[in-house]
Amino acid sequence: MDSNLKEQTIGEPQITQTKDMTDKKLEMSPNIVAAFLQKSPETFTKADIINFVRSYGIKMVNFMYPAEDGRVKTLNFMINSLEYLETILSQGERVDGSSLFPSFVEAGSSDLYVIPRFRTAFVDPFSEIPTLGMLCSFFDKDGRPFECDPYQTIVKASNAFRESTGMTFDAMGELEYYVITEEEQLFPGTDQKGYHESSPFAKLNAFRTECMSMIAQTGGLIKYGHSEVGNFSRDGKTYEQNEVEFLPCPIETAADQLLLAKWVIRTLGWQYGLDVTFAPKIIVGEAGSGMHVHMRIMKDGHSCMTENGKLSDIAKRAIAGLMTLAPAITAFGNKNPTSFFRLVPHQEAPTNICWGDCNRSALVRVPLGWATGIDMCAVANPMEETYKSSEEYVVSDASDKQTFEMRSPDSSADIYQLMAGLCVACRIGLEMPEKEALDLVARTYAGLNIHTKGSKDFAELPGSCAEAADCLEESREIFERNNVFTPRMIDGIERALKSFNDKGMLADAVKDAAKVKELVDKYFYCG
């Protein structure tokens, strides 16, 4: 980068396009740092960060990181010299681990280091002071990665998957949330019919698109956003459900993106005076909010998900692992009692351990994967050039789009524990004897809505946090293999879940509206 570049303002990045600029991923990047440096984030170096800070007029650096409560925490640094900037980028800072991770860190040995991950750098879209944000990793007193670091758990899971299978594991998340506003009389939305609704019947599309723009600036790779099914009014308030879905990427990046996206949505809502909740259930009988996770398996940059236009045996074996460990995964993905108000029949939320094609009643859904071999674009747009064969429009390979989706998690989840747990489960499926895995997949296949009369009986998911803790205990040896989850982390998760003392709560609470409201209010801002 030209060292003589003039200082630039946050709102006016001056990016020079050249004939050599061929990377399509960078050409339209909303991430100001990546666009300015003309480098993919995963290649950012300390020198790049310093260059950007100096050239772009950055005055402050924020270290950001998740804690045990699932929320992003922030440490602010004023840049007073180049020497100080180099120091914090190289050496990080110390923090109180016992305050951040009370279940895992004792006060008597609580100091941890936080070190920024340069690939996560972004210009803070909310700060009036030009500010660069970066997510951090935790290190212990000896300078080793902190064993209970949420991010490090994912790294260990990803490494174990690659070493065992020779493949890599991608994921993408879906964030569902409600925005609550004063009820309007004009163009009221239709109860439970908000799916992909447009204005004026959907009132908050503009808020969602602004959120999406800011998430993209933080480095979030967004696939799309839309209004969701949930749309209802109570006591003069309108509850409007929205969803933002991301693109597949390595699980480490997928988790980081979800963490920052929740921060962006909440912060922008607060600035606008809008109440936003990611709570899994806010009113019984109305649609809950999940945080579904799509997964795919890759090798050498190519998808392993399909074979001859159908779901591959590799994908099926990974699903077998999810079928095996699904009860325990609720310990990572469903972290408070209201999670289990959502996991009930007839709400497009799973209740049983099964999988199916395009089946939203199943725990694992295999969505449409562009495997028809037909160029639908050419059919819809006759002017497009295409290759015709046997009166069919043939399309290029789109197998990288095929995923499978875990539908039980919600935003009470510890995002990093959840992603790591899913990765472990898929690895276990691939490590099973092939016949055993494929037999399990055959037994757990649901071809119909599982709540339809005559459908198969499948094992049930846990019905409470306490039951989820018991399931985790039964499977803990699997999660502790390769030191992915440490015994200390598993113990802490189980203690936290059992502290709710919520066995049998669901059956009792649904009969007591006041009890339901008390629980909803308590965990309204969960995760």
Residue 386 confidence (pLDDT): 60
- CATH code, domain with 82: 3.10.20.70
381 inside domain: no
pLDDT at position 5 is 32
Single out the residue of 364, 341, 337 nearest to residue 353, CA to CA. Answer: 364
Domain shared by 347 and 262, yes or no: yes
* Three-state SS at 385: coil
Is 100 among the domain residues? yes
139 and 165 together in one domain? no
Q: State which H helix or E strand residue 237 sits in.
A: strand 237-246
Assigned domain for 198 exists:
yes
In the numeric block, which tokens belong to residue 325?
A: 């460990």
Any domain includes 380: no
**Residue 16: pLDDT band by 50, 70, 90 thresholds?**
very low
Decide if 18 is inside a domain: no
Angstrom distance (rounded) from CA 410 to CA 23:
35
The CATH number that applies at residue 213 is 3.30.590.10
Residue 117 and residue 42 share a domain? yes
Whether residue 373 lies inside any domain: the answer is no
Q: Are residues 207 and 242 both part of a single domain?
A: yes
Same domain for 469 and 495? yes
Do residues 135 and 65 lie in contact, with contact meaning Cβ atoms separated by under 8 Å? yes
Average pLDDT over residues 473-488: 96
Q: How many domains does the chain have?
A: 2
Question: Which structural domain range is residue 247 located in?
Answer: 154-367+403-522
**Residue 1 forms part of a structural domain:** no
At which of 120, 146, 172 does a domain end?
Answer: 146
> Are 57 and 188 within one domain?
no
| 244 shares a domain with 142 | no
Output the pLDDT for position 347: 72
Of 172, 250, 161, 162, whose CA–CA distance to 428 is shortest? 161
Kindly state the percentage of the chain with pLDDT values over 70.
91
Q: Which of 84-93, 388-397, 504-513 has the highest mean pLDDT?
A: 84-93
- Which run of H or of E encompasses 75? strand 72-78
Residue 441 falls inside a structural domain: yes
246, 189: one domain: yes
Q: Please state the rounded mean pLDDT for residues 188-215.
A: 91
| pLDDT tier for residue 517 given thresholds of 50, 70 and 90 | confident
Looking at residue 109, what is its pLDDT? 67
Task: Please tell me whether residues 137 and 208 are part of one structural domain.
Answer: no
Query: Of 101, 126, 146, which residue constitutes the final position of a domain?
Result: 146
Q: Taking 90 as the threshold, does the pLDDT of residue 514 lie above it?
A: no
| Pair (440, 292) in one structural domain | yes
Tokens representing 215 are: 């998430």
- CA dist 99 and 111 (Å) reads 10
Which residue is listed with tokens 């449409």? Answer: 368
Beta-ladder partners of 173: 293
Q: What is the pLDDT of residue 377?
A: 81
Is the bond into 200 cis (omega within 30 degrees of 0)? yes
Question: What does the pLDDT read at residue 56?
Answer: 94
Are 88 and 186 part of one and the same domain?
no
272 shares a domain with 241: yes
* Mean pLDDT score, 88-111: 89
Residue at a domain's end among 113, 146, 179:
146
Mean confidence (pLDDT) of the chain: 89
Per-residue pLDDT tens digits for 353-384: 999 987 778 999 999 887 777 778 878 887 77
State yes or no: pLDDT of 157 exceeds 70.
Answer: yes
Tell whether the torsion through CA atoms of 360, 366, 372 and 373 is positive or negative.
positive
